[in-house]
Structure formats: C-alpha cells, structure tokens
Amino acid sequence: MHVLIDNEFFQYSNLIEEILPKKSFEKSFFVGTELTTSEIKSADAILCRSVTKLNQEFIKDSQISVIASATSGKDHISADLINSKNYQTFFSSGANAWSVVHYVMAVIETLITRELFSSQKSVGIIGHGNIGKRLGKTLSAFNIPWHANDPFLEDENLVDLETIFNCDLISIHTPFTRQGEHPTYQLINKNNIKSLTNKIIINTSRGGIVDEKTLLQGESILYISDVWENEPKVNELALKHAYISTPHIAGHSLDGKKGSLIEACKFIRTAKLLDKIEYSHSSLEASKIITFDTFLNNFHAHDFPLGMFTSEFPINEISDEFKQACGKNFLQLRSSHPQRRDFINFNFNDFLNRDESVDKFINNLVRLRG
C-alpha cells in the first residue's frame, strides 16, 4: 500500500514506521497546502491534516481508497467522500481532547491570575462530546461549577442555551455545520450577542461558529479565540479585539499531535493488515513543571494551582507574538509550537502525602484518566 503523508509528520517518521512498516507500506510525503493531482495518482491512502482540502473531484483519477485525517474537525473533507461507499474515511476525534482542555484551563488560570474569573464563577459548555465531557470532569475536579448544552444528546443533566448564556464563562466545543436541525455556523450572532454582555467566551472549535463582525460590536465581551474565519488569513480587527488570540494550536500539544497521528496511522494499518496495535503516552513529572511549594501556596491562596497549566503552555506569550505580527505568522506559529505536554499525563507522585487537601485534589485529577 502506498501512503501519502503530510510532511508536517516527517518529524515522527520513526513512530510512523513502527505502525506502518516499510515491508507493507510505501510512504511518501507532501506539503499539506500544496497537494497536487499528480502527487496522488499512485497513492492508495492519504494521511492528512485540516489544511488539505479533499473532495471526489480532486481524487477521482487516483487509487486512493483510504483517507485518514489526524484531526477532530471534518470540514476539510467533503461530505461526498465521507458518505461514499468507495472510500474509508477516518478522523482522530477525541485524540487531542485533553490538549484542548489544557488550553481552556490555561485560559482560566490566566483569568484567575488577572482577577477576571474565580473558581466560584460558573462555566457553560456548548457541545458535550469528547472535549466537552472531559472539560466538565476537569472543572469538577477543580470545584468549578458548570453546565453543558448539546441538542444531539439525550441527557437530563444537559441544559438549554439560555442557561449556558447565563454562565460567567462560555466555552465552545462543537463541530462546524451549516445544515441540519442544529447548525453551528454563526451560533453566536447578532440575535443573541446582547445576552452575552459582560461574559467571557472561549472558542476552540471553528472560527465561523462565532460571527466575528458581530463580535466586534460587543465591546463588553471578553473573547478568547484559537480559531478564525478564513484561516490562515485572519481578520486583523478580530485578532486584536480578542483578549487572547492564538493560531489554532489548542490541540497542538505533543500528546495531542502524537495521539491524533497514532490513531490515524492505526486506521490505515487496519485497512491493510486487519490487525490492531496499542500505544500509550509516557508521563511527565509535575515537579519539572511547577514546584510543590508554588503549587501548594497558589492552591490555598486562589483555590487553583496557578502555574500548573501556563508553565507548560505560555499562552500569553503566544498571543502577544500572534497579535504583534497581525496574524501573518499564523502558519509559522502553528508549525513551531512548543512540544508541550498535557496535564492529564503529569505525574504528581512527588506531591503526595505532604498536604491533605492537595492529596484529595490530586486524587481527583488521577481519576480523570480512568
């Protein structure tokens, strides 16, 4: 099987080789934004990212029958490909969920540091899928009250959008859709923007879910965004209007990227060899991220261990750099994003048995892995 692979994954060649050994898989690399029809002619499978747009017309003269995207989002692959019986398609949904949760928690940590939020305030989660569920569990571990909305799920604990909009902070975790009973395109729009006065909005889903033109009129909304309409060309006004602006890197932790890649490679392997292979992430000593004394002091002073998320993920520095370049460094910042780790893989053994309240909190974090 000939597999065409986005060259951003070249740095993980050894990992790819373990899952897709050369005795069964011929591999070649392509530039994600510059894929041509001549490159795909001899390929049987493609391993791509969200920057590569694919539809039946583009691949009709190729041998491609397997499409694996190391992403959660699906809007770069046309519906005719996804729904066709002639193609096997795969998306790494949930593989980088903890990375996105880490992003949201890094934002919350920043807001607490600047006295713009506290653990007594409420969070509304729009979308209760892979990311939304994990975020809710994480907030519970930090004793932060939250509600969730998802019109596609039947769960008596879920609430309506009005309840979500009454929360102090709203975090968006929905797919981007234009059709259907509950389209998410411009979910935040001119009809409901007034109900979000003095609220905080975090968008890590897709840019079009929030109407950026309407947002610019909402001066009292504190907007944090990792996603933008018309990426990689970012609306400079929206970029500078946002309190924190980042170039679509919420899911770009080392664990998130490798996890998404591993799942996509496993799908391609199964399509060819019909077997399964298991992988797990290594842990990172929490003491390398934050000292116990700092952790303890902040935990008691703020009901939140300041530094736990931002020490590994300098979100403010990234935002400043992104804004200073007026968004023109979007792709460069994405490709050079630090090899950060997700908090879910931190090892807190060195922090145990030193403070009873910290022990209880860490045990809550450990249970999140279950």
Q: In this model, does residue 279 exceed pLDDT 80? A: no
Calculate mean pLDDT across residues 331-346. Answer: 92
- Residue 321 has phi, psi (to 5 degrees) of -65, -40
At 229, is the pLDDT very low, low, confident or very high (cuts 50, 70, 90)?
Answer: very high
Average pLDDT in the 5-21 region?
Answer: 94
Residue 258, token pair as written in the block: 């490798």
* Interval 166-206: pLDDT, tens: 999 999 999 889 988 999 999 999 999 989 999 999 999 99
Per-residue model confidence (pLDDT) at position 297: 95
Q: Which of 128, 134, 241, 248 is catalytic?
A: 248
- Which fold, 2-91? Rossmann fold (3.40.50)
Those residues with Cβ within 8 angstroms of residue 1's Cβ, 6 or more apart along the chain or in another chain? 24, 25, 26, 44, 45, 66, 268, 271, 272
Q: Residue 273 — pLDDT band, cuts 50, 70, 90?
A: confident
Answer yes or no: 231 catalytic: yes
Cross-strand bridge partners of residue 285: 347
Is 369 known to be catalytic?
Answer: no
Summarize the confidence of residues 224-249 as an average pLDDT: 96
What's the whole-number average pLDDT of the chain?
A: 94
In 3D space, the residue among 23, 8, 74 whose CA is nearest the CA of residue 269 turns out to be 23
C-alpha–C-alpha distance, residues 309 and 107, integer Å:
9
Is 0.85 topped by the overall pTM? Answer: yes
Q: Where are the beta strands (DSSP E) in 31-81?
A: 45-48, 66-69
| pLDDT band for position 108 (cuts 50, 70, 90) | very high
By the 8 A CB rule, do 171 and 223 touch? Answer: no
Q: How confident is the model at residue 219 (pLDDT cuts 50, 70, 90)?
A: confident
CATH topology for the 97-245 domain: Rossmann fold (3.40.50)
Q: pLDDT at residue 276 above 90? A: no
Residue of 253, 259, 359, 348 whose CA lies nearest to 308:
348
Which of the pair, 279 or 315, is modelled with greater confidence? 315
CATH 3.40.50.720 maps onto the chain at: 2-91, 97-245
The pLDDT, as a whole number, for residue 283 is 87
Q: What is the pLDDT of residue 249?
A: 95
Q: Is 367 a catalytic residue?
A: no
- pLDDT computed for residue 369 by the predictor: 86
Percent of the chain with pLDDT over 70: 99
Identify the three-state secondary structure at position 189. Answer: coil
- The answer on pLDDT for 75 being more than 90 is no
The helix/strand/coil state of 148 is strand
Q: What is the CA radius of gyration of the chain?
A: 21
| The pLDDT of residue 277 is above 80 | no
Cβ-based neighbours of 102, under 8 Å, separated by 6 or more? 253, 309, 312, 313, 340, 342, 343, 344
The pLDDT value given to residue 73: 81
Residue 278 reports pLDDT greater than 80: no
Tell me the pLDDT tens digit for each residue of 340-355: 999 999 999 999 999 9
The answer to whether residue 260 scores a pLDDT higher than 80 is: yes
Separation of alpha carbons 189 and 185, rounded Å: 9
Over residues 221-238, the mean pLDDT reads 95
Question: Phi-psi region for residue 80, left (φ > 0), alpha (ψ -120 to 50) or beta?
Answer: alpha
**Catalytic pick among 206, 241, 252, 337:** 206
- Determine the pLDDT at residue 218: 74
Q: Which pLDDT belongs to residue 335?
A: 85
Catalytic residue of the set 26, 229, 231, 321: 231
Mean pLDDT of 234-244: 96
Q: What are the structure tokens assigned to 54, written together?
A: 């694919």
pLDDT of residue 128: 97
Which residues are registered as beta bridge partners of 203?
A: 172, 225
Which pLDDT band, with edges at 50, 70 and 90, does 261 fall under?
Answer: very high
Helix (H, G, I), strand (E, B) or coil at 350: helix
What average pLDDT score do residues 84-93 get?
94
pLDDT given for residue 274 in this prediction = 79
- Given a cut of 80, whether residue 370 has pLDDT beyond it is no
Tell me what percent of the residues of the chain surpass a pLDDT of 90: 88
